[in-house]
């Protein structure tokens, strides 16, 4: 399921939850979809941080994820 479909379904379940109580299956689905969404966000953030380079005052460049002491 792509991110847009995931968000759409999460929103549908949220709106339904506001109108009436969700069934156990729907609650489980909602929790699962939220976990998938958060995992995707974490992966995106990690990918962005892995692509950041730091330029030192001396002109050297190294990746952010490289440990420096």
Each residue's pLDDT tens digit, 16-67 = 999 999 999 999 999 999 999 999 999 999 999 888 998 999 999 988 876 6
Task: Answer whether 13's CB lies under 8 Å from 29's CB.
Answer: yes
Strand partners, 53: 63
Distant-in-sequence, close-in-space partners of 36: CB < 8 Å, separation ≥ 6: 1, 6
For the cut 60, the answer to whether the pLDDT of residue 68 exceeds it is no
* CB neighbour class for 46 (10 Å; exposed up to 12, middle 13-18, buried from 19): exposed
């Amino acid at each position: 399921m792509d991110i847009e479909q995931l968000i759409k379904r999460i929103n549908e379940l949220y709106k339904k939850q506001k109108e009436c109580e969700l069934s156990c299956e729907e609650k489980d689905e909602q929790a699962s979809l939220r976990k998938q969404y958060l995992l995707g966000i974490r992966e995106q953030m990690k990918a962005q941080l892995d692509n950041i380079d730091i330029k030192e005052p001396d002109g050297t460049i190294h990746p952010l994820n490289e440990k420096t002491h």
